[in-house]
Chain A
Amino acid sequence: MPGLHRFRSLISLTQSLTAIGPNLQSSFLAIGGTPPYTYRVQPNGAGGSINSSTGLYTAPSVINGGSYGPPTQIYDTIQATDSLSNIATSQILIGNALLLLCDIIQNQMGLANGRVYVWDQKIFQPTDSGLYIAVAIISCKPFSNVNTFNGSNSSSYQWVNNYAQVQIDVISRDTEARDRKEEVLMALASTYSQTQQEANSFLIGRLPPGSQFVNLSNIDGSAIPYRFNISVGMQFIVTKTVNIGSIDSFSTPQIVPNP
């Protein structure tokens, strides 16, 4: 029809989760553009795989390529391409329970990458006036330690169940830490948080009795005017699979009568 134009929308990529644990799955879905879509994982990332037609992503079995060095293989970038070769990309993080907790806070508070970080001896000191949130495990109590073996593939599956005290520091040079600290608790109890906990087998506990934000603004003097600290409990599992050469299956003993 003359004068009538239909504008195609740009292709974009949505995802069910922005971070998952090893071996777990997350769905990616392209919308807009011109179907059909194909999905692929860009190289040099975390090492996951994706179904090119359905967009179902499977995380790699190890975090950061199995390296304890610089976190350069934490993210996978998923690329969706429509039939006209238009491209949309999105990232997913593969991490342990502590990193997933960071993702929950970042996701729910709408913070940019780099604003939430794991606090360790190499402190990332805030250098601008925005909000920073530091997360650290200050104590960790293992309460079960289990080893099972699988005779069919000669492997040993080991895990330790932990209960950790997670310390969260809300820091800012401006008043954002003072005014947004409660949003951390909202994030930890959010629907996204509960989805992540269920999908990744960890549990963020309710606030214990007597829990409170501790005002630590004074310890940094004028450098960081606002800093509030609160601790929450988190239960998580650390697992490992080890190949073993031979096993004793400890089968039911048989009594051989009068050989």
Chain B
Amino acid sequence: MAGPIRNAANYPLFARAGTIPDVSGALQDYFQMMTFSQVTKTVQGFQVDESALPINFQGCWFPYSERQLLMLPEGQRSWSHFMLFADPTLTLQTDDVVLWNGIQTRVLGRMDYGLYGYVQYHLCQDFTGSGP
């Protein structure tokens, strides 16, 4: 039967509902319970007050490998870089400051793979006490 040629390359994965692989089920086995303290600013008595609010979520945290550090444009190894995979309920934004296990880190990037069932964050060790 004659007809137009349908090239698979013209059809992205999300062209039809249900074609995105939801890996959240598999990641749940990988994730563990984590608690961040997010540093937020409010104005109290006309002055800026910083306070830490706890955020509970499921995630997995690991440091950059040597190879990943080498590929960073700044070539810095003294500042610790971290990757975080988390469930999509964690909604940090770029430049947010969070504390985890006593380490202050700043969000450098957020990759929203929410359709796949997770989000990925790039965090970097931050100056202790510097606000968001």
Distance to closest chain A CB from B127 (angstroms): 13
Q: Which residue of B lies closest to A133 (CB)?
A: B46
Does B112 reach chain A (CB closer than 8 Å)? Answer: no
Does B48 reach chain A (CB closer than 8 Å)? Answer: yes
Which of these, A64, A118, A122, contacts B131 with CB under 8 Å? A122
> Which residues of B42-59 are within 8 A (CB) of A?
42-51
Q: Provide the residues of chain A in CB contact with B48, threshold 8 Å.
A: 117-118, 120, 122-124
Does B77 reach chain A (CB closer than 8 Å)? Answer: no
How does the 8 Å CB contact mask read for B35-76 relative to A, with 1 for contact and 0 for none? Answer: 000000111111111110000000000000000000000000
Does A259 reach chain B (CB closer than 8 Å)? Answer: no
Distance to closest chain A CB from B94 (angstroms): 14
Which of these, B46, B49, B131, contacts A116 with CB under 8 Å? B46
Q: Provide the residues of chain B in CB contact with A64, threshold 8 Å.
A: 45
Does A230 reach chain B (CB closer than 8 Å)? Answer: no
Q: Provide the residues of chain B in CB contact with A118, threshold 8 Å.
A: 46-48
Distance to closest chain B CB from A7 (angstroms): 38
Q: Count of B residues near A, CB < 8 Å?
A: 12
Q: Judging by beta carbons under 8 Å apart, are A71 and B44 in contact?
A: yes
> Which residues of B118-132 are within 8 A (CB) of A?
131
Q: Judging by beta carbons under 8 Å apart, are B43 and A75 in contact?
A: no
**How many A-B Cβ pairs are below 8 Å?**
47
Distance to closest chain B CB from A58 (angstroms): 19
Q: Judging by beta carbons under 8 Å apart, are B44 and A135 in contact?
A: no
Q: Judging by beta carbons under 8 Å apart, are B41 and A122 in contact?
A: yes
Distance to closest chain A CB from B81 (angstroms): 25
> Which residues of A38-81 are within 8 A (CB) of B?
64, 70-72, 74-75
Q: Provide the residues of chain B in CB contact with A102, threshold 8 Å.
A: 46
Q: Judging by beta carbons under 8 Å apart, are A114 and B45 in contact?
A: no
Q: Provide the residues of chain A in CB contact with B41, threshold 8 Å.
A: 122, 124
- Known contacts A70-B50, A122-B48, A124-B48: does B131 contact A113 (CB below 8 Å)? no
Bound state CA distance, A93 and B51, in angstroms?
20
Q: Which residue of A lies closest to B46 (CB)?
A: A102
Q: Judging by beta carbons under 8 Å apart, are B46 and A72 in contact?
A: no
Given A64-B45, A95-B45, 9 extra CB contacts under 8 A: A74-B44, A75-B45, A99-B45, A99-B46, A113-B43, A117-B48, A122-B48, A122-B131, A135-B46
Which residues of A are interface residues toward B (Cβ below 8 A)?
64, 70-72, 74-75, 93, 95, 99, 102-103, 106, 113-118, 120, 122-124, 135
Which residues of B are interface residues toward A (Cβ below 8 A)?
41-51, 131
10 interchain residue pairs of minimum CB distance:
A74-B45, A102-B46, A114-B43, A71-B47, A71-B44, A71-B45, A117-B43, A70-B49, A122-B131, A122-B48
